[in-house]
Chain A
Amino acid sequence: MKMNKWLQVTTMVFLTILVFVSGAQAADWKPTKPIEFVAPFAPGGGSDVLARSIASIIEGEKLCPVPLLVANKAGGSGLVGTTAVVQQKGDPHVLVTYIPGQAQAALVAGKGAPTYRELTMICGLALDEQLIVVKTDSRFKTIQDIIAESKKRPGELTIAGTGSGQDDHICTRVFERSAGIKFRYVPFKSGGECITALLGGHVDMIWANPPEFVPQWEAKMVRPVAVAKLTRMPDFPDVPTLKEIGHTVTYFFYRGIAAPQGIPVEAAAFYENMFKRMVDSSAWKEKYLKKYMLSPSWMGSKEFAKVVAQNEEESKETLKDLGLLK
């Protein structure tokens, strides 16, 4: 009797352990507490808008059992927020938005700056567009006018963009090299400051993403003259690509998601799957892509990591050319 009971207990314990272990192996990883979703830029910017749109779409579509809490950690061209995420190594409850500027700023900043190698790339979600925009009453009717004039007066036309050694600056340099021209690149702190400088006539042209200039474009105060893309944008069918006029300036301005290094493989897979389901939803298309005029571009974890690495490699060349990298 006694023996029997002992056996019973042992069997039960053993079975419980077995169920527990096998269950843990088979079951998917799920987040167990709210996810800290870091937007490494100030509220109102492109990364902040992306993070907040994602948080609200995921909540609306019930794609995640826990909420995503957006935390802005701005400063240092996104490096402060990226660093904070890198330091939470192995924590599967942290995500961060990732754009090429973060990789490029890390290259320029050098020692101590967080590179993409210290992060787990989850996925790429969309591509943002880079356009050259002038004032409506500008003497430049087309992009060819700009090229012609800057050939006549090299290094005198001014082009403004956000930051130094990042997307806008790199696009400028690639374009300059391809067309054999030279601009004066004027760095500003934000896209808002750029469009203000353009409207005030302080610079000749700017680089801008669609949400930064569309309100003024609708009021016929500014107009885009070219887009750095392989094909024309459906929203701006009359705006030529730089490729059409013979300059292969295409820029891959990805917007993606990353997590700290060393998170469980299952966690990375969970997030990748979650975002895949999100980009397939109609809410994503309506509330994000259409509203902010981005192109859909899903990239899985491996593909996105490859794209990020490739972009960094290409940026390195241009940054060396600009003298920002040795």
Chain B
Amino acid sequence: MSNECNSRAFLYLNLPQMVSGMLFSEEFDFWSREHIVLKRPDEADTFEGFYEAVIYNLSQFLFACAGHYNRFEQIWAEINPMPLFSATMQTCIDKKMDVTRGGARYNSSSFSLIGIGTFIDSLYAIRKVVYEERKLTMEQMKELLRTDFAGQEAWRLYLQNKVPKYGQDDEEMASFAGRVFRDLAVHSSGMPNARGGYFEASLFAFFFYDVLKEHTWATADGRHAGQRISRGCNPVESTKEIDAATLMQSLRSIDFKDYPGCAVSYLEMPISKNAAGTDVFVRILEAFVHCGGNALDFNVVDKETLLQAKKDPDNHRNLIVRVCGYSAPFISLSEELQDEVIERTMRNG
């Protein structure tokens, strides 16, 4: 029997958009609404100063969120007590206490951080191009982002293709990514909640990475406004040269013990008639565990089947795909999400 009541999936924090919120703070009122005195990252002289400001602002924001959530959690027991659920847990019975009051042994809460791949790439692009190579000033970079790279396709492609990306084989990048993962874990966990437990860091998004993309402005990694942001703890989709091996390698830079609230990796396995069979899966799973991975989402489908299913849903009612964190009948997905799943299978082919 389980003895855990983890409260999650109530706040999805779009990391890349938080950076936009800091660079263009005049356009967003949530800082003042939360009484946060913003440290302006764009005024920093060094990348260290920039990075510190970003992390500081994020931690202030997350602290405010934890406060809001805890106020709700305090009245949880009055509004929605859970006697049946509580009856399944030994400590609830022993303590004669509902789960909503903290009857379970483990009473954690967690925020979901979304788009960490895009977040890492964007910060790294600013570090490289603005602070190290000095090819752009901070103002020029902000102008590119504000205008969504209008008329500056060469710059957008430069940022997308010529700056190292998280997941690629680049030692400097790997150590930077490890640092971001670590810092985000530190600042999104540890706060006490109202049930006697603590906040734990987590990195999962179900399908929210797809919902949120429309509201995400252009990012410094060369991503257009409205384009997809990264999933779970995966590298960005448009990153070149990401295969199963590189994905595993990228896991090594992360200490997943920092993310007890779950950090999901996604991997699409293209299936073909001549595929190498189940042995491949065994090897991948072995490698995943060996490299210290936390949760792995497989999708095993071929593109043709999905394209057909999209055209002819009636005959594909039982086609189940792993969306992210859960599985669903393919035909039940929105057209946009269907296209997204189709595109994923094409990527690793």
Indicate, yes or no, whether A interacts with B.
no
Interface residues of A (CB under 8 A from B): none
Interface residues of B (CB under 8 A from A): none
